[in-house]
Amino acid sequence: MAGDPAILPTAIAKQIIDPHSYASWDPLLDTFDTLRETQPVAKIVPEQEGLFDPFWLITRYDDAMRVSKDNATFLNNPRPVVFSFKQAIEFSRAATGSNMLVDSLVVFDAPVHPKYRKLTQDWFMPRNLARIEGEIRALAHRTVDRMLEQGPTCDFVKEVAGPYPLRVVMQILGVPPEDEPRMQMLTQQLFGGQDADLSGTGMADMTPEQVVQLVAGAVKTFEDYFADLAQQRRDNPTDDVASVIANALVDGKPLPPRDMAGYYIIVATAGHDTTSASTAGAMQALAKDPDQWARLKADRSLLSGVVEEAIRWTSPVQHFMRTAAEDVELGGQQIKAGDWLMINYVAANHDPAQFPDPRRFDASRSPNRHLAFGAGAHQCLGLHLARLEMRILFEVLLDRVNTVKLAGDPRRATSTFVGGLKSLPLSITPA
Ligand code: HEM
């Protein structure tokens, strides 16, 4: 493979896989801009052989869309969906017989995936979500109460953008508030372990083997917790999504325990750090632009544009992986059956061919067909919930906050997978 022009230089490869690159975005966006022009589908190989499988990095919007939508050619299984180390895969195989410690919607392909997806699809549609709008608004008010109690300055991520989406997800799963910190910690052990400030576990300093063991422990704790919850919902069903999963039948049979646990875990974990990041990003953009805040206060019809642009602009899920089922041409490269591909949503959502002046936050961007929720069969199950949560929170904030401005430098998390602000200092005057 040496001398293969498709292979990216080591320095670029390192930048793509290094969690720290995602903490200071602009240099990374510069690299994506260059690659889109010169090598829109380019190969990344590990410097140290065997660390991870080589993969193709996709940076153009059109290619990312094509791969996302063609679920027959580009499979989620058998390899883990997120960029991960071989050692972790081997550990998982030994422990569970699967490449992933958790088998969930993101790991399955047809014919299993559509059957599982169908179980909760209706629950996550706007018509059903309208039923819980009042509960979400009450959570938004309680969160803003707490923020305003802090006085004129706050860290918006710590006080609002972090806890609010977690509370929403826990509420739909029927997890009581006293268990939320545990859920938060477990999620960060699963996904956020690359950032020393966020994991709170010292994971950033551990060897890959130690990390995998810690993650395996987190998965086991989740599984036990949700097995109890499912039993409660079988005994006493309610109209929450936990009851739908607990009582679901596939081909006339209840879900096997591992799949049921995986379903709970994906809903519990996929919905909060993501929505936290887009919420914090929206506030960052508004805090920098007092005129936009004032316009929004006067005209709430502009809010949906702010929400959508914040989701594109932040692209909280930074990538997912696919495996080619057959030989296929993509972006001028010959992809072989079995090759691994990274759909990089950050790169795709900053493609100037689709989004003019992509680094600019433009709430009036139209069309804004971003890929932050993915596309195709695996498109985010919770996208309507994410938009609803953000809309309600900003409605409450616009009612109750008069002015908002930055009170320090925002800081981004160190993470290759789900990323975004971990700190957003604001000064606020209440309405
Ligand atoms: C701004 C917030 C969010 C973003 C940016 C986001 C992004 C994504 C992305 C990129 C995918 C993979 C799509 C693909 O492979 O094509 C995904 C899948 C998923 N998301 Fe979200 N998500 C968000 C919020 C939520 C919420 C609130 C929930 C639910 C509580 C949720 C639940 C899921 C689930 C269950 C999947 C797997 C779907 C499948 O494989 O069929 N997400 N999300």
> Is the distance from the beta carbon of residue 372 to the nearest atom of ligand 1 less than 6 Å?
yes
- Find the range with the poorest average confidence among 9-23, 195-209, 335-349: 195-209
CA distance 158 to 138: 19
> Is the distance from the beta carbon of residue 378 to the nearest atom of ligand 1 less than 6 Å?
yes
Query: Nearest residue CA, atom 34 of ligand 1?
Result: 381
Q: Which of 181, 129, 68 is CA-nearest to residue 382?
A: 129
- Which residues sit opposite 427 in a β-bridge? 153, 405
Q: Which of 19, 17, 31, 16 is CA-nearest to residue 413?
A: 19
Looking up tokens 């929403």 gives 168
pLDDT digits (tens, 9 = 90+) for 252-304: 999 998 899 899 989 988 998 999 999 999 999 999 999 999 999 999 999 99
To 10 degrees, what angle do helices 273-288 and 303-314 make?
110
> Is the distance from the beta carbon of residue 275 to the nearest atom of ligand 1 less than 6 Å?
yes
Handedness of CA 198, 288, 372, 394 (dihedral sign): positive
pLDDT band at 204 (very low <50, low <70, confident <90, very high): low
> Is the distance from the beta carbon of residue 375 to the nearest atom of ligand 1 less than 6 Å?
yes
> Is the distance from the beta carbon of residue 316 to the nearest atom of ligand 1 less than 6 Å?
yes
Mean pLDDT of 131-158: 96
268 Cα: distance to centroid of ligand 1 (angstroms): 11
pLDDT band at 211 (very low <50, low <70, confident <90, very high): confident
Checking if the pLDDT of 44 tops 70, the result is yes
Could you give phi then psi for residue 406, rounded to 5 degrees? Answer: -65, 140
Q: The whole model's pTM is what?
A: 0.94
Q: Are 195 and 414 in contact (CB under 8 A)?
A: yes
> Is the distance from the beta carbon of residue 314 to the nearest atom of ligand 1 less than 6 Å?
no
Mean pLDDT of 12-30: 93
Mean pLDDT of 125-135: 97
> Is the distance from the beta carbon of residue 379 to the nearest atom of ligand 1 less than 6 Å?
yes
Checking if the pLDDT of 93 tops 80, the result is no
Checking if the pLDDT of 114 tops 60, the result is yes
CA distance 19 to 173: 30
pLDDT digits (tens, 9 = 90+) for 238-261: 999 999 999 999 999 999 988 998
pLDDT band at 235 (very low <50, low <70, confident <90, very high): very high
Distance between terminal CA atoms of the chain? 63
Quote the percentage of the chain above a pLDDT of 90. Answer: 73
245 Cα: distance to centroid of ligand 1 (angstroms): 17
CA distance 16 to 22: 8
Q: Where are the alpha helices (DSSP H) in 100-179?
A: 112-121, 126-129, 133-149, 156, 163-173
**Higher local confidence (pLDDT), 48 or 311:** 311
pLDDT at residue number 215: 77
Looking up tokens 């200071």 gives 24
The residue count of the chain comes to 431
Give me the CATH topology for the region 10-430. Cytochrome p450 (1.10.630)
pLDDT band at 306 (very low <50, low <70, confident <90, very high): very high
Checking if the pLDDT of 192 tops 60, the result is no
Segments making up each domain of the chain, as ranges: 10-430
Q: Are 171 and 389 in contact (CB under 8 A)?
A: no
pLDDT band at 217 (very low <50, low <70, confident <90, very high): confident
- Plot region of 302 (φ>0 → left; ψ -120 to 50 → alpha; else → beta): alpha
pLDDT at residue number 222: 84
Three-class SS state of 421 = strand
- Find the range with the poorest average confidence among 85-89, 183-187, 379-383: 85-89
pLDDT digits (tens, 9 = 90+) for 355-393: 999 999 999 999 999 999 999 999 999 999 999 999 999
Residue whose CB lies within 8 A of the most ligand 1 atoms, among 75, 272, 373, 421, for a mutation test = 373
- Which residues sit opposite 58 in a β-bridge? 41, 343
Q: Which of 190, 162, 80, 121 is CA-nearest to residue 415?
A: 190
